[in-house]
Structure 1
């Protein structure tokens, strides 16, 4: 069911100038999907920023907009593929990524969600933002046929851009980094803008004493490096093997988060892994306690780790988006992709103690500190409406109207701390780097 964040929290900053008497707040709708936790996490972060700036935010789950329980069926099938038939998911991911447009089954499914999507939007909605590819496809189709009268934007939550992320009709595609922006640009995405990620404010580098306090709170040892091993909210992939291999290196002690996979947690404890957690509400604190993140999907947890100053390694990645995200993160200079288990020990050592780790920490922090954020891009979308029905922008954002969105985007692209990593990526793999160079040079579409 849809839910709303209609009230500005008490922690929101006071506006520099109060809105004119009688002015109404702009309403923004965000459509995510409870497939894992990454899409919803990005939606929550975006909603938090928008509410802080005086917007009213409605959030909707795309799975609830699909007919007759099809959303839950789709989510369950995806989960089972990843868990029991990962090679089948790899084939499906690759096939849909190569297709010029969604297949017949996908088109029928998306078409069936159009009416419920329109019904879910309040009459005074000023713009709609999707954080899930299927929702973007529906919104794009509605915009193309003129049934959706307000701007529709897609926030690309992955570092790699699958074909389903790019939908004709979408007014703008917002990316967290120039690498996915370049991929989206090559695929023909409209108005690609680098805005950076959104994570909760608690994901920040630990202050003095926080690291020791966090280790005490989670009953973790103080005298050894800790590798935080995560596998998403579902705990999928060869996690047991990865935990054993980390432990065998002797470089770091594994601290494993299994999400909602209770069976995995029990298996790991039987394997003798000492520090195993299920669902963790205080992930900022656990990240403060650890020294390096090892992940297998390249999703929201990686962005949160960047914000806390943790170096990140991709290892034993799940098929499909796990591997393409790992490649994109490596290309961006933000995470090392360990393809060979024999390289695990030396790479972990470099991330923990060497210049590679320091460079990744700096790049990850810059990704959050220097990007303009998505709010300005959403405001630009709202302002693109013309005529007497245009929705007013909240007063606390009006002082920013003089900042051109394009200038902010260019500044973010240049200053995100990616110049050296992108140059390294070009030297290592110039063929894969073509998309980035074309994007930054303004070639192509």
Structure 2
């Protein structure tokens, strides 16, 4: 039984980006012979508080998305940061159970989990190495924890921002994207289009808005179609109401939850996104050009600004949308060390001996 070699990853089902990063990190760490357990931070909160917080955030993005600009800014102030820290501390009793048995490494992919784990380190209750994986290209105050041994950033800009917010050690690494997201080989695009019922000779723009299908998706779809430069293919995630509205509006290429996103991406020519999260990285890894258009307030806008500044994903206006859809070219993800390799270096020698026993 692996005890000291056990890695505990704490994520959260807020959208899909945090869980997606956790899942891929776990896969890579297991490939290195480590036992990995993944836990949802929301389930560590008392009662149904975690689900209520998740639902409230979801509803805010649906009903009053502009308030997320204000809330994100407010969470960067000391008073609300203190409140967020107090809420995170409510998870400590269950978190202590999850971390029992002397893990070899603890990894967080979610800000509130980072605050709670950092609280255990501050209290002297956590001896294991503690790492934070930053899932977004923009870095908020709450995503950095000064008690972590290592922060891993998805690009140099995020690494510099994390250092500026007090992270004691920061490394940047190639973003974690599942291996299925890769460029198409000859003939593969045609087969993918046939599978999804997409026309062979059209230029297709894949419109994505995260697993929740939030933001101005209907407006984005209408604007893309109006340019005549590409036909929109819309993925609504788990937002069935959005899917139904688009179909009633006459949009013919609409999908709900898609199990094989790598193939659907390889069927398309360009991706239009609004949040700058994991789907953006997956599209870039697939070799597609990506555009930001009508970005979500809050983290969507901060991510869009960084992605534009570092030259990975341009933000386009309505006037520039047609030209961008016709001429966009793919950008290459920065190549650096595998984040799992960086994490593995934190596992103490005793864990390595237990792992190989």
The interval holding the TM-score normalised by the smaller chain is over 0.9
**Are 1:271 and 2:264 counterparts?**
no
- State the 1:378 CA deviation: 1.0
In the alignment, what sits opposite 1:380?
345
**Are 1:321 and 2:261 counterparts?**
no
| TM-score (ref. length: structure 2) | 0.96
Counterpart CA distance in 1 for 2:201 and 2:172 is 40
Counterpart CA distance in 1 for 2:346 and 2:318 is 46
Counterpart CA distance in 2 for 1:189 and 1:325 is 20
Counterpart CA distance in 2 for 1:141 and 1:238 is 38
Residue from 69, 73, 93 that aligns with 1:90: 69
Contact map agreement 1:24 1:392 (CA 8 A) in 2: no
In the alignment, what sits opposite 1:331?
309
CA deviations on 1:135-157 (whole Å, 9 max, x unpaired) are 00111111122111101110000
Contact map agreement 2:74 2:80 (CA 8 A) in 1: no
Residue from 348, 356, 380 that aligns with 2:325: 348
Counterpart CA distance in 2 for 1:115 and 1:101 is 24
* Secondary structure at 2:352 match in 1: coil
Counterpart CA distance in 2 for 1:23 and 1:118 is 18
Aligned-residue CA RMSD (Å): 1.7
**Are 1:391 and 2:351 counterparts?**
yes
- State the 1:100 CA deviation: 4.1
In the alignment, what sits opposite 2:219?
241
Contact map agreement 2:111 2:143 (CA 8 A) in 1: yes
Residue from 100, 112, 134 that aligns with 2:112: 134
Counterpart CA distance in 2 for 1:350 and 1:393 is 54
In the alignment, what sits opposite 1:53?
32
User: Which deviates more, 374-383 or 74-83?
Assistant: 374-383
Counterpart CA distance in 1 for 2:263 and 2:2 is 41
Contiguous gaps of at least 5 residues in structure 2: none
* Secondary structure at 1:193 match in 2: strand
In the alignment, what sits opposite 1:421?
none
Counterpart CA distance in 2 for 1:41 and 1:152 is 19
- State the 1:348 CA deviation: 1.5
In the alignment, what sits opposite 1:434?
none
- State the 1:394 CA deviation: 7.6
- State the 1:391 CA deviation: 2.2
In the alignment, what sits opposite 2:188?
210
Residue from 256, 261, 265 that aligns with 1:287: 265
Counterpart CA distance in 2 for 1:168 and 1:186 is 11
Kindly tell me: are residues 137 and 251 of structure 1, through their superposed partners in 2, closer, same or farther at Cα, counting changes over 3 Å? same
CA deviations on 1:395-433 (whole Å, 9 max, x unpaired) are 78xxxxxxxxxxxxxxxxxxxxxxxxxxxxxxxxxxxxx
In the alignment, what sits opposite 1:31?
10
- State the 1:36 CA deviation: 1.0
- State the 1:229 CA deviation: 0.2
- State the 1:380 CA deviation: 2.0
**Are 1:103 and 2:81 counterparts?**
yes
* Secondary structure at 1:201 match in 2: coil
Kindly tell me: are residues 137 and 102 of structure 1, through their superposed partners in 2, closer, same or farther at Cα, counting changes over 3 Å? farther
**Are 1:42 and 2:21 counterparts?**
yes
Counterpart CA distance in 2 for 1:197 and 1:47 is 14
Number of residue pairs aligned between Structure 1 and Structure 2 = 356
* Secondary structure at 1:381 match in 2: coil
| TM-score (ref. length: structure 1) | 0.77
Contiguous gaps of at least 5 residues in structure 1: 1-21, 352-356, 397-445
Larger Rg: 1
- State the 1:107 CA deviation: 2.3
Counterpart CA distance in 1 for 2:257 and 2:230 is 22
- State the 1:343 CA deviation: 1.0
